[in-house]
Structure 1
Amino acid sequence: MNNVNPRDYRWNSFNVLISTFEIFISSKVRRNDVKDDDPDLPRLRITRFPYEDLKAMTGDFNINLGEGGFGSVFLGILPSGIRVAVKCLDGFGQIRRSFLVKAGTIGTIHHVNLVRILGFCAEKSHRLLVYEYMCNGSFDKWIFHNDQEFDLCWQVRRKIIVDIAKGLDELHEECHQKIIHLDIKPQHILVDEHFNAKLAYFGLSKLIDKDQSHVITTMQGTHGYLALEWLSFVIKEKVDVYSFGIVMLEILCGRKNVDHSLPSDEVHMLTLFQVQSRIRTTIGHD
């Protein structure tokens, strides 16, 4: 039997103890990472990006594409060279729930008129979504402007109206659950290089089972695009249809529904239509 040097034995035991301690610490860190995440995140069926990877892809979040609902959007470039839009979500609570709605539900829908969610990041306090990049940005700059460069012909305007309608039909009729967007407006319509329009930013979205006719929720959305149903807090997909109607009028008229820079009797676009309707009715009776 070989003699064992007590010093070597103690040294080897010490190394084993250190290694065990390192494994324990490492596993504890990993457990803490998981603990801080939402329990539903492992079930999401889209790509999960490490935060450091997204930080590198965006050049440390260098190019700001704009401020969307619940956070800022930055330009990123995937290793393949494809450009993406990376949205950094702010806060928790409702933001965490909206994050799961977006990543878990909208991320599984592939429709030509809905902006695709390509992936997400959830590490500690970081919550980010990776969207397909739309080079022509949000649609508001194409209809609310004083620059002839952004003028769109009627054929393009008509196409964009049809694209939005198709996107809403997908959300309301074709998905496993009805999805009510709740914040349809030009800023939430993105345009690609071919002027295909896509609905985006589903932070306020609500899911309704097919056998449900409505959902009860607090008032949300943007002033000027809210249907009268919001007064009762009993919401159906019709609230999106109303908002879509307002957007359609804005596209056709080339002005905002509510514009406080105009004279007081022209601030509200719908008021002008109501006045014209009364005039036509009066003339018809005469």
Structure 2
Amino acid sequence: MAISQGILLLIVILLVPMAAAATVVGLGGGAEEQHAECLPTSCSKHDSPEIRFPFRLKGRHPKNCGYPGFDLSCTPLSKYPALELPFSVSVFVKNINYTSQTILISDPNGCFPRQHPNLSASPFQFLTNYNYHNFTFINCSQIITYYSIDWSEIDCLSDQSHKVYVVRSDSSPLISCTKMYNISLPDYTYRYDYNTFFFYWLDNNTFGVPLNWNKPICRDCEAKRKYCRLKNNNSSSSNSQLLNGLTECFDKPKRPPMGASTKRKIAGAVLGPTLLVVVVTAIYHVYRSNKMKKADQVKIDKFLEDYKALKPSRYSYADIKKITNQFEDKVGQGGYGIVYKGKLSNDVYVAVKILNNVKGNGDEFINEVQTMGRIHHINVVRLVGYCADGFRRALLYEFLPNNSLEKFISSNQEKHSLGWEKLHDIALGIAKGIEYLHLGCDQRILHFDIKPHNVLLDNKFNPKISDFGLAKLCSKEQSAVSMTAARGTVGYIAPEVFSRNFGNVSYKSDVYSFGMLLLDMVGGRQNTVTQNTSECYFPEWIYKHLDQGEDLGMQIEKDGDAKIIRKLTIVGLWCIQWYPVDRPSMKVVVQMLEGDGDTLTVPHSPFASTNPMPTRGTTSGRTFNSELEVISES
């Protein structure tokens, strides 16, 4: 950094004097360039009149380039230059004819009669080679409905309380009207429009009010194809000298021959700016380098600040009230408590779950904080913080705006709005999240409550597993876990959680719950369906139709939907096998969902009703007791 600053200082010391000298050489000129600053210009490239003596453009031409009263200025309101006249008269100049010394003007506000009485004080007047007619402007307190064709209402001067008319001066006066002023107008009008006054057809097919000027006289120079200027004109001339001066003609500027001095000027004009560009580039390089380093530091500081938020932080109950703005935005409610939307100080939105103060709440709270504090996966919701302030307890999660998966699979309309391809991606994301819980952490995490309500969707509908209140930790080498009581949600609980007749409780219990979730996604949580007027269990119904090659009755909208439905159904049926040993691991489930589905085979029936034996039956060579005994195991 110090080296680059030293180099920059050396460049500035060496090049600035050279650049300044070269620029001076390039800008130097002889007496033949004294009028270069008065060269013609315009306000825009299209349809704007050329501006030169006796007119001058403010901001571009010095005062000695124009004649008093002929100052023009560009405005963003129009492509035409504005002419400021005495008594605050302002008009747009649409055309300038230097040969006839005529200008064509228009009123910016579309009400030229308002400015006409003050026009006599300007150096411009109506054209003199026409016959004039006398007109009178009158102010009437009521609407005149019986006036002749010589009367015309001036809308822009009238209002609800009075009307202004222009009439021929020889018309009979009315008692209810008051004379305002007389004017004489030339008989050159193309048509009458008394609000914009008279529109006149001039060259360039432009309408406007034509005016001319008598002084200074430049028409002779224009006839000779030369430019006009005041004699002895310079920047120090006073207004009286300008007004009394005479004009002279001079040749239009031409490109001078390229002699030695001209070449030096060109070289100076090129070299000077080039050296300046080098200096500016060097300065910019150092400035940009400093700015990038500062931006990097800000980025690092922000990352470290946000990284602190990645680790679950402890908040007081007062913090919770501030984060939720006094519990203003309620987004959900369940048996566990109420969920509010909140915002942290670094503009990170969170979902704040206020836990009910009920029996067992303490164990679930400790379980969820302990479990989720070690989880970092794209398909698992992140625990931002927690509150344990006396008997008040709360959990803060990242906020996911699209609510739970249950909302989208319980309604056919919502499910079809996502499409089967997106539902497949959601199923694959959930499977990868469960696989991470089983294999990706130091200890295996068993969720025990996989269901659509506990799968949240972010703004891009990426699934995230939530609610670890019932989770258990065990080593990866441990094949089974002890459990004192069944846990989970009815309809998603694996058979072995109820009865050890089916085997030991293990990570395969989450596989069963995931299989039921897949079938929910396919069937929209239809627990029963009507088939030949008899009611049957939906997973069993869908197995029979799939096994017999019958249509599943799902709505197909795009090519490939049927293939996705069949894949989800087969994977779901593999996952809900009654015996844990018959279920695939989540790693295999992910591979099945990632495959094309053509090689998947339908598993054997996992349902007791497929065997008519009332007490004992066989499934895949294994015996089981159809009258399940619920046992408690420590």
What range is the shorter-chain TM-score in? 0.7 to 0.9
Q: How does 1:1-286 map to 2 (within 5 A)?
A: 46-68=312-334, 70-147=336-413, 151-217=417-483, 218-232=485-499, 234-253=504-523, 255-256=524-525, 258=527, 265-266=534-535, 268-276=537-545, 279=548
Q: In the alignment, is the contact (CA less than 8 A) between 1:109 and 1:116 conserved in 2?
A: yes
- Give the whole-Å Cα distance in 2 for the aligned partners of 1:109 and 1:180: 13
CA RMSD of aligned residues (A): 2.5
Q: CA deviation at 1:91?
A: 2.5
Which protein shows a greater Rg?
Answer: 2
- Give the whole-Å Cα distance in 2 for the aligned partners of 1:64 and 1:267: 38
- Aligned identity (percent) is 36
Q: CA deviation at 1:150?
A: 6.2
Q: In the alignment, is the contact (CA less than 8 A) between 2:367 and 2:470 conserved in 1?
A: no
Match of 2:490, as an amino acid?
A: H
- Shift in CA distance, 214/68, structure 1 to aligned 2, threshold 3 Å: farther
Q: CA deviation at 1:48?
A: 0.6
Q: In the alignment, is the contact (CA less than 8 A) between 2:409 and 2:415 conserved in 1?
A: no
Q: Could you tell me the TM-score, scaled by structure 2's length? A: 0.35
Q: Which of the two has greater strand per residue?
A: 2
- Give the whole-Å Cα distance in 1 for the aligned partners of 2:441 and 2:422: 27
- Give the whole-Å Cα distance in 1 for the aligned partners of 2:356 and 2:388: 12
Q: In the alignment, is the contact (CA less than 8 A) between 1:51 and 1:121 conserved in 2?
A: yes
The gaps in structure 1 that reach 5 residues or longer are: 1-44, 282-286
Q: In the alignment, is the contact (CA less than 8 A) between 1:224 and 1:258 conserved in 2?
A: no
Match of 1:188, as an amino acid?
A: N
- Shift in CA distance, 174/69, structure 1 to aligned 2, threshold 3 Å: farther
Q: CA deviation at 1:236?
A: 0.5
Q: Could you tell me the TM-score, scaled by structure 1's length? A: 0.75
When the two structures are aligned, how many residues end up with a matched partner?
236
Q: In the alignment, is the contact (CA less than 8 A) between 1:190 and 1:198 conserved in 2?
A: yes
State the Cα deviation string for residues 183-228 of structure 1 (Å, max 9, x = none): 1110000000011101001111111122321112211111111111
Q: CA deviation at 1:130?
A: 0.3
Aligned residue for 1:66, secondary structure, equals strand
- Shift in CA distance, 263/96, structure 1 to aligned 2, threshold 3 Å: farther
Q: Which of the two has greater helix per residue?
A: 1
- Give the whole-Å Cα distance in 2 for the aligned partners of 1:53 and 1:267: 51
Aligned residue for 1:88, secondary structure, equals strand
- Shift in CA distance, 103/269, structure 1 to aligned 2, threshold 3 Å: same
Q: CA deviation at 1:271?
A: 2.3
Q: In the alignment, is the contact (CA less than 8 A) between 1:143 and 1:151 conserved in 2?
A: no
Aligned residue for 1:108, secondary structure, equals coil
Q: In the alignment, is the contact (CA less than 8 A) between 2:330 and 2:338 conserved in 1?
A: yes
Of structures 1 and 2, the one with the larger relative CO (CA 8 A, separation 6+) is: 1
- Give the whole-Å Cα distance in 1 for the aligned partners of 2:522 and 2:537: 15
Q: In the alignment, is the contact (CA less than 8 A) between 1:86 and 1:130 conserved in 2?
A: yes
- Shift in CA distance, 82/267, structure 1 to aligned 2, threshold 3 Å: farther
Q: In the alignment, is the contact (CA less than 8 A) between 1:157 and 1:252 conserved in 2?
A: no
Runs of 4+ in 1 over 6 A off after TM superposition: 260-264
